[in-house]
């Protein structure tokens, strides 16, 4: 016999029916959203990024998961390679219209040359909050062609001298604020302690126009040398080159680590941060790593000074920026630009500080970075580095007149070919395979051949 529900009991069953109905509708909506979400993820635009295997690029890859979460329509595909290998891959891809990459990490050498050839997408229409005028002007200008910006700087650097304050103190030695190469050699002699695995000096020896020749180029400049005279005649067999390379090879054989001809930036950074080098002359961008106790065993023992000089201060310290650009061949240009804006933003720089330490912020790109209190406190080198970047002069890289610009590179397309050839020859000398005279003669012939074929010699 049926009974009619009344009062509280009836209200309970009525509310339960409403809840069941709402639950069914919510489940259906959630299922639809799930399908749409899965479909969105499946249809996400893939952005392939080519970067070198340096510490701060590894950090970029790590932090990029937050970019993907905020941009679920974009999937990042990373290609992380050794520097020389990356340069070759990117150059081959862009010169053959390969289209394998959507984001390229290139520098002050490639950006204007590739832009001139129409290979890069201009970085225009940047949002107001990107604050393009916050970028260092010298770096911004170096990444531009015909008044247009073609790459956004991820970091920028000059070169400087790092040293172990504790080893200097133990020997009663002092590093001059502006050392000469003669002083560096004398100090390295006194600090070499092979029995304890400490080398007086560490310098790049790995062949490559952007590896060993980045350093060797500044060494030659300050010894008074130049790549070419005003008529584009190669000068690599000049007395200045001979003096500089003799000095370099003898210093490294006497006070450098074994296998130095295989050591580039990363290898020397590892040696220095683990306490194996008394002196290291290299990129200012290494300072943030060496001063960060999370990344360096000598963080509280590092001192710094200017890059050494010898016959002239011209070209004694370099200017470089690793920057992100989009090739014209990319099929995902809008997504690629969105990623680049994020990776070079003020917000990203602060993310690095919060993640691995304020000393390790990407340096040299934004004026606002140098106003962050945490960075000022953690990075005693910050203003020194800023000054080094701002005083490096690519327009007057040598004491003698030259027909090119660029401190540690010659800003013509053929440089990557003859710069690498010269680097290989000098690396062979460092490894004991050839003499200095043989290496310089081979390098001079390579440089002359390349510029003659390109029509520079008249």
Same domain, 54 and 152: yes
Same domain membership, residue 129 and residue 70: yes
What's the pLDDT score for residue 325? 98
35 has a pLDDT exceeding 50: no
CATH number at residue 87: 3.40.190.10
For residues 435 and 209, the answer to whether their CB atoms sit within 8 Å is: no
pLDDT band at 29 (very low <50, low <70, confident <90, very high): very low
Mean of per-residue pLDDT scores for the chain = 92
- Give the end of a domain, one of 351, 378, 405: 378
Asked if residue 213 and residue 150 are part of one domain, the reply reads no
Residue 2 has pLDDT above 50, yes or no: no
Residues 61 and 90 sit within 8 Å (Cβ to Cβ):
no
Q: Are residues 277 and 331 in the same domain?
A: no
What would the pLDDT profile of 238-248 be if each residue is shown by its tens digit?
999 999 999 99
Sign of the alpha-carbon torsion through 149, 151, 152, 154: negative
Rounded to whole angstroms, how far apart are CA atoms 223 and 398? 9
Same domain, 224 and 277: yes
**What average pLDDT score do residues 297-301 get?**
97
Residue 158: helix, strand or coil by DSSP? coil
Q: Is residue 252 part of a domain?
A: yes
Let me know whether 248 and 357 are in one domain.
no
Kindly tell me if the per-residue pLDDT of 97 is higher than 70. yes
Q: Are residues 313 and 273 in the same domain?
A: yes
Domain that holds residue 327: 43-157+321-378
- Residue 110's DSSP bridge partners are none
* Any domain includes 146: yes
| Residue 318: C-alpha distances to residues 3, 151, 186, 276, 313 (Å) | 94, 19, 24, 25, 11
Is 56 inside any structural domain? yes
Place of tokens 């910006």: 149
Judgement on whether residues 112 and 174 belong to the same structural domain of the protein: no
pTM for the model: 0.88
Would you say the C-alpha torsion 18, 23, 24, 28 has a positive or negative sign?
A: positive
Same domain, 113 and 188: no
Residue 20 has pLDDT above 90, yes or no: no
Specify the pLDDT at position 43. 80
C-alpha closest to that of 188 among 202, 201, 198:
201
Confidence at 422, pLDDT banded by 50, 70, 90: very high
Which comes out higher in pLDDT, residue 401 or 35?
Answer: 401
The three-class DSSP label of residue 304 is strand
Asked whether residue 217 falls in the same domain as residue 113, the answer is no
Contact 220, 299 (CB under 8 A): no
Domain shared by 310 and 445, yes or no = yes
Q: Is residue 25 part of a domain?
A: no
Write down the pLDDT at residue 17: 53
How does residue 188 score in pLDDT terms, banded at 50, 70 and 90?
very high
Q: Has residue 237 been placed in a domain?
A: yes
User: Is residue 37, in this structure, part of any structural domain at all?
Assistant: no
163 shares its domain with 269: yes
pLDDT, average across residues 360-375: 96
C-alpha–C-alpha distance, residues 277 and 268, integer Å: 8
- Tell me whether residue 245 is in a domain: yes
d(CA 253, CA 256): 6
Single out the residue in 330, 347, 378 at which a domain terminates.
Answer: 378
Bridge partners, 144 (sequence order): 149
Neighbours of 68 (CB within 10 A): 15
Q: What is the CA radius of gyration of the chain?
A: 27
By the 8 A CB rule, do 207 and 83 touch? Answer: no
Domain count for the chain, please give it: 2
Report if residue 105 sits inside a domain.
yes
pLDDT, residue 42, reads: 58
């Amino acid at each position: 016999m049926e009974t009619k529900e009344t009062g509280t009991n009836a209200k309970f069953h009525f509310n339960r029916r409403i809840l069941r109905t709402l639950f069914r509708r919510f489940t259906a909506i959630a299922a639809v959203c799930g399908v749409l979400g899965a479909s969105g993820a499946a249809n996400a635009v893939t952005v392939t990024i080519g970067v070198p295997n340096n510490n701060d690029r590894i950090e970029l890859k790590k932090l990029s998961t937050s970019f993907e979460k905020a941009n679920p329509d974009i999937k990042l595909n990373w290609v992380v390679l050794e520097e020389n290998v990356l340069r070759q891959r990117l150059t081959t891809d862009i010169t053959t219209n390969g289209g394998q990459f959507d984001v390229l990490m290139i520098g002050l050498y490639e950006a204007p040359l590739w832009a001139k050839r129409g290979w890069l997408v201009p970085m225009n229409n940047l949002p107001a909050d990107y604050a393009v005028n916050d970028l260092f002007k010298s770096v911004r200008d170096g990444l531009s062609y015909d008044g247009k910006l073609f790459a956004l700087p991820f970091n920028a650097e000059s070169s400087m001298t790092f040293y172990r304050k504790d080893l200097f103190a133990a020997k009663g030695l002092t590093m001059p604020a502006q050392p000469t190469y003669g002083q560096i050699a004398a100090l390295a002699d006194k600090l070499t302690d092979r029995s304890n695995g400490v080398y007086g000096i560490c310098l790049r020896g790995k062949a490559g126009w952007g590896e060993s020749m980045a350093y060797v180029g500044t060494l030659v400049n300050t010894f008074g040398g130049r790549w070419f005279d005003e008529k584009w005649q190669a000068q690599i067999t000049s007395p200045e080159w001979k003096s500089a390379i003799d000095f370099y090879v003898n210093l490294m054989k006497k006070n450098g680590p074994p296998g130095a001809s295989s050591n580039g930036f990363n290898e020397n950074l590892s040696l220095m941060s683990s306490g194996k080098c008394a002196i290291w002359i290299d990129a200012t961008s290494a300072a943030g790593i060496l001063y960060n106790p999370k990344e360096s065993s000598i963080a509280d023992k590092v001192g710094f000074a200017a890059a050494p000089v010898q016959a002239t201060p011209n070209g004694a310290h370099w200017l470089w920026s690793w920057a992100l650009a989009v090739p014209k061949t990319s099929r995902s240009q809008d997504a690629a630009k969105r990623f680049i804006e994020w990776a070079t933003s003020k917000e990203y720089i602060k993310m690095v500080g919060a993640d691995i330490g304020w000393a390790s912020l990407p340096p040299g790109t934004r004026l606002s970075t140098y106003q962050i209190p945490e960075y000022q406190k953690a990075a005693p080198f910050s203003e020194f580095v800023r000054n080094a970047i701002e005083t490096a002069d690519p327009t007057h890289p040598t004491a003698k007149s030259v027909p090119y610009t660029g401190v540690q590179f010659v800003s013509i397309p053929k440089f990557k070919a003859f710069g690498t050839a010269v680097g290989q020859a000098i690396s062979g000398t460092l490894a004991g395979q050839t003499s200095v005279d043989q290496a310089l003669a081979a390098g001079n012939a390579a440089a002359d051949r390349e510029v003659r074929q390109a029509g520079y010699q008249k």
